[in-house]
Structures are given as C-alpha cells and as structure tokens.
Structure 1
Amino acid sequence: MSDFATDKDMLIQELLQERDELFQELSRLRKVDNGALDTLEAKNQELTSVVAKKDQQIHKLTDQLAWFRHKFFGSSSEKHIAADPNQRKIDWEGLEVLPEEKEAIEDAEKELIEYERRKPNKEKKKPVRQPLPEHLRRVVEVIEPEGIQDNWVRIGEEVTEILEHKPGETYVRRIERIKYAIKPIVAEENAGNEQNEEEAPAIRIAPMPLLPLPRSNAGPSMLAELMMNKYFYHLPFHRQISMFKMIGVRLPASTVNGWFQGSSDLLRALYNRLKEKVLETDYIQVDESTIPVINNQKHKTTKAYLWMVRSVMDNLVFFHYDKGSRAQRVVVDLLKDYQGAVQTDGYEAYSIYEQKKGVLLLGCWAHARRKFSESLAEDKSGAEYALAQIAKFYQVEKMADEQELDHEQRAELRKRLAYPIMRAFEKWIEGYYPKTLAGGRMSRALTYTYNLFMRLSRYHLDGRYLPDNNLAENAIRPLAIGRKGYLFCGNHDAAENAAIMYSLLGCCKASDVNPREWLSDVFAKIPQYNRNYDLDLADLLPHNWKKSNDCQNFPESSN
C-alpha cells in the first residue's frame, strides 16, 4: 500500500508541474499574440451560436414539412369529413364582403370609364331601305281611327309594310291606316268656332301599332326566325341571307346585323331581369365555356369565356360575358351579393367562396369520375375501384328516384347509405396515393378528388342538392355546337349579345317552350313593357309565359 501511495503522490506532482508549465506557456502566447486568442475564442462562440440557431430553424422546418405531409397524405381528423353527417352543417361565419369583390368592382368601373374615353365616335351612314318584293303575299291589316262620324270623309291612307315570316313562308304584313278629314261643308259651318277646331283636328288617322324596332321593317316573327335559326339551329346569318335570297328576298348583311343588334338591345332588360331571378335563388350551378372572339388589334381570334349560371330549382339559366375574361374577378363581381349553395367544378377561381359568409361551395362528382375514367389505361385496378365507389353514390340517387322520395327523405337516405361510403373512399385515397406513379393520371385523379373532397361530400346536406353539375354542362352544349357553325363572334359586343340570346333560348329549352312562338310574342309585347314600368318583365320569361299561354311543345333540334 505504501508503494501505491508513493506512486500516486508522484503522479499528482507531475500533473501539477505540467499544468503550471502549460499555464506559463499560455500566458506567454497571450502576451505575444496581443489578444488574438481571445478574439478567436469570441468568434468561435459566435459561430457556435449561429450554428445553434440554424439547427433550431432546420428542426422547425423539418417538423412543419412532416406536418404538411401528414396533413395531405396521412390520416388527419381535421382533413377528414366528420364522422357524423349531422355535424356537417353550413358554416355561415365568414367575411361579409370579400376584399377581392371590392377590388373587382373598382377595377370594373375604371375599365368602363377608360373604355368610354377610348371609344371613337364614328359617323354612321344612313342606309337606303329597299322596297319589299312585290311577289310576296300581302296580309292586309286595316286600322280605322276612333271617333269617326258621318261628317268625316276618307282622303287617303298611310301604308307601312313589315316583313314577316312563318314556317315555310315569308310574307308581308301590310298595315293600312285610313285617313279622314272633315267634309268641306261642315268645315265652313264650323268656321269661327275656335273651340271645335281645337278639339277636333281637320285630319284624323289611327296611330301606328307598336313595333319591336320602330325604324325597321322587320316584324316580330321575322326577328324571331333569324334569332332562333342562329342560336337554336346554329345557322350563321350569312347562310340565312343566302336562304332568303333563294326565295327572292334580298337582305343586306348590314341590315340583318342591325336587326340583331336592335333585338339584343330590346331583350337586354329582360335578360337583366332573368339574372336577378336566378341570383335570388339559394342553389345555383356555375360553369364556364370558351367562345372565339375576333381581336381587331391582333387580327385573329382569341379564346374568350362565357360564364353560365343555372338556378337548379327554378330551371333558369343565363350566360354572362365580361370581355371574355376567365379571371376570378369576374365570378367575384357576378356573385357579390349571392347567398346560398354554389356548385362548380374544381377551377381554382371558385375556391374563394370557401371563406364567404352565407355561401356553401359544392363539388361535382362527374368531374372526379371523369378523372378516374382517364386513368383506366394507366392503373386499371385502382381506377376501377374508384369508379365503383362513385357508382355507389349514384345508386343511392337512383334508389331515391325510384322510391319517389322528397328532399328530406333523400337527404336522410344519403346520410345513411352514401355518407359512410364517402368516408371510406376518402381514407382509401390516402392509403392508395403512395402506390401510384408520381405525376401520372391516377396520381392526378387522386389529388384532384382529395383536394375537393369537402365540397364533393356536402351534397348530402340537402336533398335538393345534386351530386354533380351535369345539367349545367347540358345547358352549355348549344354554345359548343353553335361555335362550330358560326366559328367566332366579331367583337366583344357581339359576344355579349350572343350571351343574351343563349340565355333566353336556354330558358325556353329548360321550360319546354317553343322558342319561335315565345320570341314572336315577346318581340310583339316588349315595347309595351318598355313604356309601362308598372309591368314586370319577369312575366315574359319562358317559365312564366308558359303558364299564361297555350304553347306547343319544344321543337326537335340538334342540341
């Protein structure tokens, strides 16, 4: 033990001596370097602090990335639709007015002011009206003035010829307004009687009946035929002009275009009333479609867009054109005062209404189904499974139709049958996504459906809601057929006028109203509505017109 203690003491002494030597050497180096070592140590501490902060930031970003991956691909109770369908109620807490709406209104006003300033004032040449062909059958309509007695003598007539049309025949409506004047003898007897002269003018003639275009010789039925042929049978005006030429009626293109512009202006107030009626409902479908429009500056056609809004319950539809834009500002301004359910496809412009107070955004299962159908060639087993799940939702709808369930019963059936399938389908999408080819069609189909699953699953909330907006796409189909016939619109004004015609004729089709009869009657009546503001233009809309008129069934067409 004594030897071990001695060795231990010697080791301690050596270590202490070595420490003293090192301390002396360190003191000497500090004097020689004049504080350089202290500076190096300070920099080392500073770098250590920076590295620690970077490590902390990396750790934070890593946690966020893991959370987002879990949120998008992993299971998440917040991402999933609620387990209880009764908890999926409309969240009416939101922004009263979106900032984008206010900005869109201000931008629109600026654009209108700038457009009016830039619009050139061109002097229009007055066209020379050609007389109507003599060989056409004349239907004479004699109008006698009121208050004619035996002391009046006929002195002539004023003749106005109006070109009319009915299926298979173009004819002339000849309006003869008989003129009367007081007999000369009676005039001498009443000479000096100033009061009688003021009350009874020397010449009397019946007033002209109201015509749709007062300074035109186109009658209501002729205007109706031209509009229906173009926007229902998709015949461009130049083809119709050729058809009229074959029966001896020469119509200059400028005249027909003037009739078209006048008809559109005449129906514009009715079109605006239609928009009001549609946006007053609490369930609409919105979609958009292309329409080629000539760009005069670039001297070529550009792809413009018409927005379609359909009232599901009232079966009304209108098209909206805003300089051909598909930007979000268009739909924001269009639906700025709307309250209710809006059903759309997955276009990102509609996503803003997830935040709008009083608006419930619904999805379209038909669009999701189409994505999986396109994936069959790439991933047959996965796509077939997804299509089978979606088919079950429609089976529930077929069941409700066959049982003739009302809206409340249909909603309960969806909660009981369709909703559990939807929850399982959502979880299957999460689990199947990692197995798909990155960037492939199946991957895109899963991503599209998963991102919109909240909207897609909300149709169970109300039995009135539809699982898709196929009816909206059906309303757009005539537009797709028409643009293959007339190819393009000459300018923005022509495209806006086309939107008016497609809207009103679309309502005719939806209400099973004969468009020829409806247009003829409306063109004849609308001048009275334009003079008397006590009359409601909504009475002339096809669904209301049908209730008060005996009309034929909707004719067959290529739509």
Structure 2
Amino acid sequence: MQNNSDTFLIQLQNHIQVLEQSNRVYEDKIQVSEEKICVLEEKNKYLEFQLKELRRLIYGAKRERFVSNAAVNQLTLPFEVEQTTESVSATETISYTREKAKKRNHPGRIDFPSHLPVVEIHIQPEQSTEGLVCIGQEITTELEYDPGKLFLNKYIRNKYALPNGDGILIGELPSRPIEKGIPGPGLLSNIFVEKFVDHLPFYRQIERFRREGINLTASTIDSWTTQIADLIEPLYDNLKRQVLGQGYLQVDETPIRVLDKTKKGTTHQGYYWVYNAPLQNAVFYDYQQGRGREGPAKLLENFKGYLQTDGYSVYDWFARQPGITHVGCMAHARRYFEKALSYDAQKAGQVMLKIQKIYAVEREARE
C-alpha cells in the first residue's frame, strides 16, 4: 500500500513539474505577445500621427494656432460658489458677453501724404450761371496714377578752342553708374527695386519695356545687373561687417535652384545663408553651393555672442566654439508640442501655455 502511495506521489510531482514547465512556456509566450502588442500599439500610434499630419497638410489650416483653456476661462469669472459635480446628464448653459461692435471708419477715408501733387479740376454746370450766387463747393478727391515714363537725357557740351592752339575746353560729364552705357541711375534703380524688392522678373520688365517701344535683351539687363552688383559691393561689405559685429545673430539656410552654366537648361542645388541681427533690423545673404559648415564657419570666425539657429546638426559645431552661446529656436521646439496636442492635450497644453507666455513677453519687449 505504501508503494502505491509513493508511486502516486512521484507521478503527481512529475505531473506538477510538467505543468510548471508548460506554465513557464505559456508565460514566456504571453510576455512575447505583450511585447509585440506594445510594439504594434506604438506603431499604430505613429501611423495615426502620420495620417493626422497628412490630413492636416491636405485639408487643415496651416497656421499652428493655440488657444489655451486658461485663455478661454478668462471670458467668464467664477463668482459663484463651487458646487459638487454629480454624474448625471444635464443641459450645459454657456454664457458670454458680446462686445458692442466698434464703429469703423469708412474704408475709403485715408490720409494722403502731403508730398503728393494735387491737380485741381474745376467743373462748372453746363447751364448758364449768370446772375447766380456761389454758396459753396463740393470737393471729391480721387487718387490717380500716372505710369512711369521713359525719357532721354541729352548731355550737350559745347567745345571751345583755347587760344594759341592749347587744346579744347569742354565741360565734364557727370559721374554715371555704367560709363559709356545707356541706362541712367534712375532707370537702373527702378529695375533693381522691381526685381529684388517687388520680385518682378527681368523677362516681365523686358516685356513692359517692349510695350513702350524699347527693345532690351536679357543679356543686356544681365550685364547691367553684374556691373551694378560690382558697383554696390562696398555697401554689401559694410552691411556684412555691421551685422557680424553684433552680439546676437540669427542664422538659417534655405535651398535654391541655380542655373548650371556648364549644362544649358539644367539646375543644381544651392543655398542662401541668412544672417539676421534682429535688434538692429539688419540682414544680409551669403550664397554657398553646399549646406556644410564651411561657409558660415568662415564668416563667423570672429563672432562672439548669442547665435540662434534651428536644430540642424551643422550648428552644433558652433556651440563648441569659445565665445559663442548657441541658443535654439522656440518656434521649432513649439512645433513638436503643437503636434502632440491630439495625443496628450494636458501635458502638451501646459508646455504650449508656457511658450505662449514667453511669446507675450517677447512681443511686449519688441513693442
């Protein structure tokens, strides 16, 4: 009888060991499954995020505007005694104060600058006014435009023969931007302003000149541009020295397609590097063929102060240079929290509110 009991006990222990082994196997499988589920959940969240971003880019507003709950709550003040909230359905009443619309001035009433010439046009009734007494006037002001007109300057210089055959006396021509060239300074200034300020391409300016009966070629205007660029290069160098001499700079780079001289009709990628001194409201551009640090490193070799950039890795090198304090861009940092609002509005909203307060201080300081 004892042997039977021992045998049963051994079998039971073996069975328990088998069950324990099976249990450990299942626990391992469960753990692996849970890890897979976590990975899939993270992947699903990432895909949802990508989908929302794509939908926002296609259908949504591009402006990253944030209105905090704190700002919304400022519309009503909590004078009432706080009541205990019960989990029952109730009709929510929203109250607000409507501000009386301010009376706007008539959109046509603007103050004209005093330097504008005034052409008075007097209009009399068609009927006879003989024997009538004028009791007043009605004045209607109309803003008009007379398109810029081309004209020719002819410099006529009399030549005088000096006595005893000592030569000829003649007045000197005034200094001109392009010696022996056709364009005057006013014409060149207008071409440059329309191109680089108003962003009117040269080919459109050529078409407009053609309507005036002046046939200019693209190569002619390109030649003028090159010569004037050389002429004003000292001004550019002076501007560059002023900007780089400040203690706070903002630097950024932007791509631009550049015509390739070696292959007609093709372009290559170039970069405009922007150097902005915000406190002085001064900025200059530097062109580089690449996006590496070689260009800015040369320009900033003597710079000391605060250098503000985005998170591009090239700028990390400047953070290690003596005398340079590298600061980030709040707009770029804010963007990540703005995107996170749909996933964790409470945490992301707290950061957004702090950034909003920083912007308010910055706006006040700027004003």
Normalising TM by the smaller chain, what interval? 0.5 to 0.7
Q: Which amino acid aligns with 2:226?
A: Q
Query: 2:151 maps to what in 1?
Result: 171
Shift of 1:395: 3.3
User: 2 CA distance for matches of 1:337 and 1:268?
Assistant: 21
User: 1 CA distance for matches of 2:318 and 2:303?
Assistant: 11
User: 2 CA distance for matches of 1:306 and 1:280?
Assistant: 20
Instruction: State the SS of the aligned residue for 2:178.
Output: coil
Instruction: State the SS of the aligned residue for 2:361.
Output: helix
Shift of 1:370: 2.1
For structure 1, the 5+ residue unaligned runs are 1-165, 191-196, 403-559
Q: 1:398 to 1:180 in 2, by over 3 A?
A: closer
Query: 1:354 maps to what in 2?
Result: 319
User: 1 CA distance for matches of 2:319 and 2:219?
Assistant: 48
Q: 1:400 to 1:248 in 2, by over 3 A?
A: closer
Query: 1:244 maps to what in 2?
Result: 209
Say whether 1:317 aligns with 2:283: yes
Query: 2:273 maps to what in 1?
Result: 307
Q: 1:232 to 1:401 in 2, by over 3 A?
A: closer
Shift of 1:399: 5.6
Q: Per-residue displacement from partner, 1:323-362 (whole Å, max 9, x unpaired)? A: x211111211120111111111111111112221111112
Say whether 1:283 aligns with 2:263: no
Shift of 1:392: 2.2
Q: 1:256 to 1:395 in 2, by over 3 A?
A: closer
Shift of 1:383: 2.9
Q: 1:232 aligns with which of 197, 214, 222?
A: 197
Instruction: State the SS of the aligned residue for 1:319.
Output: strand
Q: 1:309 to 1:254 in 2, by over 3 A?
A: same
Q: 2:298 aligns with which of 317, 333, 337?
A: 333
Instruction: State the SS of the aligned residue for 1:174.
Output: coil
Instruction: State the SS of the aligned residue for 2:179.
Output: coil
Q: 1:375 to 1:171 in 2, by over 3 A?
A: farther
TM-score of the superposed pair, with normalisation by structure 1 = 0.37
User: 2 CA distance for matches of 1:336 and 1:289?
Assistant: 21
Q: 1:375 to 1:297 in 2, by over 3 A?
A: farther
Q: 1:268 to 1:401 in 2, by over 3 A?
A: closer
For structure 2, the 5+ residue unaligned runs are 1-145
Say whether 1:376 aligns with 2:341: yes
Query: What are the equivalent positions in structure 2 for 1:136-215 lying under 5 Å apart?
Result: 168-182=148-162, 187=163, 190=164, 201-215=166-180
Q: Which amino acid aligns with 1:318?
A: F
Q: 1:212 to 1:387 in 2, by over 3 A?
A: same
Shift of 1:251: 0.9
User: 1 CA distance for matches of 2:186 and 2:349?
Assistant: 53
Query: What are the equivalent positions in structure 2 for 1:418-429 lying under 5 Å apart?
Result: none
Q: 1:256 aligns with which of 197, 218, 221?
A: 221
Query: What are the equivalent positions in structure 2 for 1:323-472 lying under 5 Å apart?
Result: 324-398=289-363
Q: 1:224 to 1:312 in 2, by over 3 A?
A: same
Instruction: State the SS of the aligned residue for 1:235.
Output: coil
User: 1 CA distance for matches of 2:190 and 2:366?
Assistant: 39
Higher RCO (Cα < 8 Å, 6 or more apart): 1
Query: 1:426 maps to what in 2?
Result: none
Instruction: State the SS of the aligned residue for 1:372.
Output: helix
Shift of 1:389: 2.2
Shift of 1:297: 4.9
Query: 1:219 maps to what in 2?
Result: 184
User: 2 CA distance for matches of 1:179 and 1:172?
Assistant: 22
Q: Per-residue displacement from partner, 1:113-138 (whole Å, max 9, x unpaired)? A: xxxxxxxxxxxxxxxxxxxxxxxxxx
Question: What is the root-mean-square deviation of aligned Cα atoms in Å?
Answer: 2.2
Q: Which amino acid aligns with 1:316?
A: A
User: 2 CA distance for matches of 1:300 and 1:376?
Assistant: 44
User: 1 CA distance for matches of 2:261 and 2:225?
Assistant: 21
Query: What are the equivalent positions in structure 2 for 1:539-554 lying under 5 Å apart?
Result: none
Q: 2:239 aligns with which of 274, 286, 299?
A: 274
Once the two structures are aligned, what percentage of the paired residues are identical?
37
Query: 1:475 maps to what in 2?
Result: none
Q: Per-residue displacement from partner, 1:174-208 (whole Å, max 9, x unpaired)? A: 111111114xxxx5xx5xxxxxx6xxx33111112
Instruction: State the SS of the aligned residue for 2:340.
Output: coil
Instruction: State the SS of the aligned residue for 1:284.
Output: strand
Shift of 1:300: 2.6
TM-score of the superposed pair, with normalisation by structure 2 = 0.56
Instruction: State the SS of the aligned residue for 1:307.
Output: strand
Instruction: State the SS of the aligned residue for 1:292.
Output: strand
> How many pairs were matched up?
221
**Where is the helix percentage greater, Structure 1 or Structure 2?**
1
User: 2 CA distance for matches of 1:379 and 1:243?
Assistant: 56
User: 1 CA distance for matches of 2:153 and 2:343?
Assistant: 65
Shift of 1:398: 4.8
Query: What are the equivalent positions in structure 2 for 1:29-178 lying under 5 Å apart?
Result: 168-178=148-158
Q: Per-residue displacement from partner, 1:384-440 (whole Å, max 9, x unpaired)? A: 2321221122233356568xxxxxxxxxxxxxxxxxxxxxxxxxxxxxxxxxxxxxx
Q: Per-residue displacement from partner, 1:422-468 (whole Å, max 9, x unpaired)? A: xxxxxxxxxxxxxxxxxxxxxxxxxxxxxxxxxxxxxxxxxxxxxxx
User: 1 CA distance for matches of 2:364 and 2:238?
Assistant: 37
Runs of 4+ in 1 over 4 A off after TM superposition: 296-299, 398-402
User: 1 CA distance for matches of 2:184 and 2:366?
Assistant: 46
User: 1 CA distance for matches of 2:281 and 2:363?
Assistant: 21
Q: Which amino acid aligns with 2:274?
A: M
Q: Which amino acid aligns with 2:309?
A: T
